[in-house]
């Protein structure tokens, strides 16, 4: 299935879904534009009142022709809503005669008259036409104190006696249907649509405003026959698409991006079901899509159950549909600008079951106990880091220690999100180099505040976990594994013990301040020459150990002796650099300390 076929089906399956006007699935031959003035008329075409619209009510879905939707210069009139110069017969009386306002006005009236004569236009269009013929719109707007700029756009509302609900002329079903039938019948360029194979009216200009209302980039464009020289006689030989199909495809893509698209810089990523079924978002910058604030049991097994439960919630009462296609696609321009050609930078399709299987694997295999901020309260919950937080773990720089913000180059962020996307939706192998970069970023903990370092540590553990799972090394447990004899894991445990021994001597003021223990300050050296650096840190802790009560001294010494024995048994107490497992050992030993101290407080 091509992207055109998929979006064409989405349009047909979702046409009855109506949302906020700036996110609605547009009808055929409709586009969106911000309108500043709303004019009310009575059934006789007399002016009643006018009002300026608030910013949040300006976005208007209006009927357009191919030319008016793509106009830039010249006299290219719309058919219902337009700029004042097209609608006001008295424009030249108030503004610059050199603009030839009458030519714009006459062109607009000609369009509207043709619709009325040939398209069986509804009564609203006839009423508005009768009013515009009077040629005093500008005068009426000035009297109503609704005028501000000559570039203002205007829309109309016709009020009828005994009408219980008054809606704008541009959004009435009979107006929408009438204009579509009228305009399509006017199109003369009939040929084979390359998308559907039908003999139908061919689109001569493709719509824009795909990623946002200001987007001028087109996903289908052929404005010069010369670029096809030597291959085709004319541009239409390379590709041509039916007008109705073009409208459906572009409107569906625009609607999906506005409703559920993810903005990766200038790139837009959207995931959708061709049949219009609700599906979980594949990327979310806030928190993972299976986050549950009320879930108090923090284990990987419980998180897996939560993922499965959430998947079942999206499926509802329906079963997995092998006939439904899930499509993930991304669009962007080469330069990232709102001009030029819009390319499809990513496209994949899969059946229902494959999609849910892939995202279930991702969220289970890349899960860890992560930091979340809910209502200004920090909580730690099992979850999966979103792509942006993964890239921050690998490349993030904290420029201000007082702010929990990581800076990443925008181009790098966009590039790396594109690398992670296939891992989520296609079950592609996670790039190990990204995990190794995150491990390397942690080797300089003094560049981060204490809380940020802990946050990055957890994210990195999640990346180590998914890499280990994909390499067939089994599940990585968040709980401390005292039977793990991996050399790096053991050295990581030792580092956590050395840190805890020193922290236990700190006052509350020290802990609240910026004082950092020796284990953190020597972190980079420890990862490269662990045996030598362990001895150095241990010597520096003599003074701190002496301050501990006898029970703690015995407890910590016993832990160190047990781990040293494990290292001796594998001849592991050397200066060979550590691999990523020392991160896991450090985290798990620290988590075990926290767990024990919490239990002691409860007892």
Residue 100 backbone zone (phi > 0: left; psi -120 to 50: alpha; other: beta): left
Angle between helices 352-365 and 450-470 (to 10 degrees): 130
Measured from the Cβ of residue 84, the count of other Cβ atoms closer than 10 Å reads: 24
Q: Which residues contact 32 (CB under 8 A, 6 or more apart)?
A: 22, 26, 59, 60, 61, 62, 209, 213
Does pLDDT of 570 surpass 50?
A: yes
Quote the distance between the C-alpha of residue 302 and its chain's center.
27
Measured from the Cβ of residue 440, the count of other Cβ atoms closer than 10 Å reads: 14
**Cβ burial, residue 74 (10 Å; 0-12/13-18/19+):** exposed
d(CA 44, CA 126): 10
Average pLDDT, the chain: 88
Confidence of residue 381 (pLDDT cuts 50, 70, 90): confident
Instruction: Please say whether the beta carbons of 78 and 72 come within 8 A.
Output: no
Selected residue with higher pLDDT from 444 and 222: 444
DSSP state of 90: T
Instruction: Please say whether the beta carbons of 203 and 241 come within 8 A.
Output: yes
Give the per-residue pLDDT at 602. Answer: 43
Mean pLDDT of 21-46: 90
d(CA 183, CA 505): 81
Q: Which residues contact 203 (CB under 8 A, 6 or more apart)?
A: 66, 240, 241, 242, 243, 245, 246, 247
Measuring CA to CA, which residue among 372, 282, 379, 267 is closest to residue 327?
282
Instruction: Please say whether the beta carbons of 155 and 60 come within 8 A.
Output: yes
DSSP state of 29: T
d(CA 486, CA 524): 20
E-assigned strand segments in 340-463: 343-351, 368-374, 377-383
Give the per-residue pLDDT at 75. Answer: 92
Measured from the Cβ of residue 304, the count of other Cβ atoms closer than 10 Å reads: 17
d(CA 438, CA 417): 15
Confidence of residue 205 (pLDDT cuts 50, 70, 90): confident
Mean pLDDT of 273-302: 68
d(CA 220, CA 213): 17
Does pLDDT of 287 surpass 70?
A: no
Q: Which of 224-233, 414-423, 502-511 has the highest mean pLDDT?
A: 414-423
d(CA 522, CA 538): 11
Confidence of residue 512 (pLDDT cuts 50, 70, 90): low
DSSP state of 269: E
Does pLDDT of 401 surpass 80?
A: yes
Instruction: Please say whether the beta carbons of 87 and 112 come within 8 A.
Output: no
Q: Which residues contact 187 (CB under 8 A, 6 or more apart)?
A: 201, 202, 243
Measuring CA to CA, which residue among 562, 457, 559 is closest to residue 504?
559
Least confident of 3-12, 300-309, 384-393, 562-571: 300-309
Give the per-residue pLDDT at 297. Answer: 46
Selected residue with higher pLDDT from 459 and 194: 459
Give the per-residue pLDDT at 601. Answer: 46
Q: What are phi and psi of 323, to 5 degrees?
A: -90, -10
Give the per-residue pLDDT at 163. Answer: 83
pTM for this one?
A: 0.86
Q: What does the buried/exposed string (b/e) look like for 459-485 if buried means 16 or more CB atoms within 10 Å of the residue's CB?
A: bbbbbbbbbbbbeeeeebebebbeebe
d(CA 425, CA 3): 17
d(CA 69, CA 387): 36
12-33: pLDDT as tens digits: 988 776 555 556 789 999 999 9
Instruction: Please say whether the beta carbons of 91 and 98 come within 8 A.
Output: no
The residue ranges of every structural domain in the chain are 35-185, 369-470, 487-602
Q: Which of 35-49, 164-178, 359-373, 503-517 has the highest mean pLDDT?
A: 35-49
Mean pLDDT of 219-244: 70
**DSSP track, 527-538:** HHSHHHHHHHHH
Stated as kind and residue range, the H or E segment containing 155 is strand 153-159
């Amino acid at each position: 299935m091509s992207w055109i076929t998929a979006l064409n089906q989405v349009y047909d399956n979702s046409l009855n879904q109506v949302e906020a006007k700036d996110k609605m699935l547009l009808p055929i031959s409709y586009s969106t534009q911000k309108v500043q003035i709303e004019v009310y008329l009575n059934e006789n075409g007399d002016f009643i009142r006018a009002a300026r619209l608030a910013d949040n009510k300006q976005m208007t879905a209006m009927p357009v022709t191919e030319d008016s939707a793509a106009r830039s210069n010249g006299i290219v009139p719309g058919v219902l809503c337009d700029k004042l110069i097209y609608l006001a017969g008295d424009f030249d009386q108030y503004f610059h005669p050199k603009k030839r306002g009458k030519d714009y006005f006459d062109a607009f009236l000609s369009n509207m008259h043709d619709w009325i004569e040939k398209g069986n236009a509804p009564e609203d269009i006839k009423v508005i036409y009768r009013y515009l013929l009077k040629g005093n719109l500008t005068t009426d707007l000035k009297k109503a104190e609704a005028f501000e700029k000559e570039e203002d756009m205007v829309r109309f509302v016709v009020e009828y006696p005994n009408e219980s609900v008054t809606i704008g002329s541009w959004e009435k079903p009979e107006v929408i249907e009438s204009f579509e039938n009228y305009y399509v019948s006017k199109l003369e360029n009939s040929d084979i649509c390359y998308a559907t194979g039908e003999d139908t009216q061919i689109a001569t200009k493709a719509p824009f405003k795909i990623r946002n209302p200001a987007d001028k980039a087109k996903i289908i464009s052929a404005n010069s026959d010369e670029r096809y020289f030597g291959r085709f006689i004319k541009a239409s030989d390379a590709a041509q698409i039916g007008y109705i199909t073009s409208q459906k495809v572009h409107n569906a893509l625009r609607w999906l991006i506005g409703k559920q698209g993810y903005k990766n810089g200038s790139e837009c990523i959207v995931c959708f079901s061709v049949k219009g079924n609700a599906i979980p978002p594949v990327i979310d910058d806030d928190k993972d899509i299976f986050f549950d604030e009320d879930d108090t049991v923090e284990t990987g097994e419980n998180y897996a159950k939560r993922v499965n439960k959430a998947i079942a919630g999206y499926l509802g009462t329906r079963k997995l549909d092998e006939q439904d296609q899930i499509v993930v696609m991304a669009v962007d321009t080469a330069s990232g600008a709102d001009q030029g050609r819009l390319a499809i930078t990513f496209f994949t399709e899969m059946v229902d079951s494959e999609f849910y299987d892939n995202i279930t694997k991702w969220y289970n295999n890349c899960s860890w106990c992560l930091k979340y901020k809910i209502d200004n309260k920090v909580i730690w919950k099992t979850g999966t880091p979103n792509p942006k937080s993964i890239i921050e773990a690998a490349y993030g720089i904290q420029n201000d220690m007082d702010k929990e913000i990581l800076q990443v180059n925008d181009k790098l962020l966009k590039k790396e999100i594109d690398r992670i996307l296939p891992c989520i939706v296609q079950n592609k192998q996670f790039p190990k180099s990204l995990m190794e970069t995150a491990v390397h970023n942690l080797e300089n903990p003094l560049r981060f505040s204490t809380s940020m370092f802990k946050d990055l540590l957890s994210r990195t553990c999640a990346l180590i976990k998914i890499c280990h799972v994909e390499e067939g090394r089994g599940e990585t447990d968040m709980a401390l594994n005292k039977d793990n004899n991996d050399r790096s894991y053991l050295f990581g445990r030792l580092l956590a013990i050395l840190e805890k021994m020193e922290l236990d001597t700190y006052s509350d003021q020290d802990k609240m301040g910026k004082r950092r223990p020796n284990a953190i300050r020597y972190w980079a050296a420890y990862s490269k020459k662990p045996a030598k650096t362990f001895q150095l840190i241990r010597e520096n802790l003599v003074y701190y150990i002496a301050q501990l009560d006898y029970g703690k001294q015995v407890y910590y010494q016993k832990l160190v002796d047990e781990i040293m024995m494990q290292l001796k048994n594998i001849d592991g107490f050397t200066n060979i650099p550590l691999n990523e497992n020392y991160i896991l050992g450090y985290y798990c030993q620290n988590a075990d300390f926290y767990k024990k101290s919490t239990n002691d407080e409860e007892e």
